[in-house]
Amino acid sequence: MPKKIFILLPDGVGLRNFAFSNFYKIGLEKKFDITYWNNTPFDLTSLGFNEIKIKNAKSDPFTDSYKNARKHIELNLNKKADNDAVYDAYRFPLSYKNVKAAIKSYFARFLIEFYNSEKGLKKIREKMKVRESKTEFYQHCLETLQKEKPDFVFCTNQRPVLAIPSIEAAKALKIPTGTFIFSWDNLPKATMVVETDYYFVWSEHMKAELKKYYPYIQENQIFVVGTPQFESHFDEGIIVDKETFFKNHQLDFNKKYICYSGDDITTCPDDPQYLSDVADAVRKINEEGNSLGILFRRCPVDFSARYDEVLGKNKDIIVPVSPIWEKIGSGWNTVLPTQDDVKLLVNTIFHTEMVINLGSSMVFDYACLKKPCAFLNYDVPNKLDSNWSVSKVYNFIHFRSMPNQNAVIWLNSADEIAAKIKDGLEKNETLESVQNWFEIINQQPPKAASERIWKSIETILTI
């Protein structure tokens, strides 16, 4: 009898890893009975997947207050334990935009003040689970699990509060549960919301972080698997030829292109100015007899017009190739990836020579295809936000995993961009160091992550 596995998608961020990869196919090959427990608007039956739609999922009115309190208390404790002010940079201001938001925020502030200790944090964690276990949604989850009787519930993301009732219902029915840590920077930021029986992490480095920040998690609960998000980069079947790619995106066949990968406005408020600086550098390179262009891939959740002026002035240099994501709401987490964008990203990397950005994980996407990355590392004049600085970005804990400073090309001023782009294209001296960094961040080989996840699930089901 095949083991029945529920893949819980509490929001859309897990689609790329667990729906648009070979994850489902590999699971079927291993004779699992797979059902997606789907809280996204995406119709997974269109891909031939079994799914159960989650409808009318709703959290307890004050769970957000407990979530915010938990985050701030964790950051307070980590700051004290490490004597490191960087944890303050992971805080977001509480909202007071209306009466409802203000009430939740004042309650969160009370919780932070009253429970600001290890014992208090434990109480907050338990209170969140208790409150969510009293909701109508919890009862729906319980009924679904009692009817379907899965052998394992795998949550694709540790962050959403809407995953708590599903996981707690499974626990109540003695169904083993696991969660995937979604991103390389998540654990220092205190983003853990769900608590499961098992945890799936990218690397030994992330495993050490998980044990450091959540000491109640035991060694035998953690599986090092990598992440499926890089698997598609090794799928030669989705690569289109140069002529097709260039024609589809109005690229000049006589040029070589570098990719400028944009950030969201919070991460990089001055991103349009950086793009302008790179365009000026490319123009300078071309004046020396070269033929280079910029393929601009904006951040998938940035639909703003903030780049329009730069793009208008540099039509001869910059070609925008926007991500193929679907916007179904106003929040960043209501913008969903698509299968077409997975192919677009892979082909963008394949058909460009290098990537420039402000500290994003695109460095690893390009490392997969052994291409260099340049990190912007200077503040522009007349910053839009006087409190923002690149120094804050690169002080984040996940950048401390870099084994040495040679893993990327550092662009320390606008004046040196042209020379460093030329060096990067001609020499690619960062290749060995960035591969070493990638091996720290993600279990190797990267194309076998889904295989490792399913093997780990097989192991769990024999325990």
Out of 29-38, 114-123, 382-391, which region has the weakest mean confidence (pLDDT)? 382-391
Q: Are 123 and 115 in contact (CB under 8 A)?
A: yes
pLDDT confidence bin for 1, thresholds 50/70/90: confident
Q: Are 217 and 210 in contact (CB under 8 A)?
A: yes
pLDDT, one tens digit per residue, over 397-407 is 999 999 999 99
Q: Hunting for tokens 């990537």 — which residue is that?
A: 355
* Higher local confidence (pLDDT), 381 or 328: 381
Average pLDDT over residues 248-264: 97
pTM of the model: 0.95
In the chain, where the domains are located: 4-59+135-227+446-462, 63-131, 232-441
* pLDDT above 70 for 334: no
Q: What's the pLDDT score for residue 329?
A: 59
Q: Which residues pair with 132 in a beta bridge?
A: none
CA distance 367 to 372: 7
Q: What's the pLDDT score for residue 330?
A: 56
* pLDDT above 70 for 166: yes
Long-range Cβ pairs for the range 454-460 (8 Å, 24+): 454/23, 454/26, 454/27, 454/30, 454/32, 456/198, 456/200, 456/223, 456/225, 457/5, 457/32, 457/152, 457/154, 457/178, 458/30, 459/223, 460/152, 460/176, 460/178, 460/197, 460/198
Which of 136, 140, 165 is CA-nearest to residue 153? 165
pLDDT confidence bin for 336, thresholds 50/70/90: confident
CATH 1.10.10.10 fits 4-59+135-227+446-462, yes or no: no
* pLDDT above 60 for 153: yes
Q: What's the pLDDT score for residue 22?
A: 95
CA distance 192 to 43: 27
Give the count of beta carbons closer than 10 Å to the beta carbon of residue 387.
7
Average pLDDT over residues 29-47: 95
Q: Are 190 and 165 in contact (CB under 8 A)?
A: no
CA distance 5 to 385: 47
Q: What is the CATH number of domain 232-441?
A: 3.40.50.2000
Average pLDDT over residues 77-100: 95
* pLDDT above 60 for 420: yes
* pLDDT above 70 for 134: yes
Q: What's the pLDDT score for residue 428?
A: 86
Q: What's the pLDDT score for residue 331?
A: 55
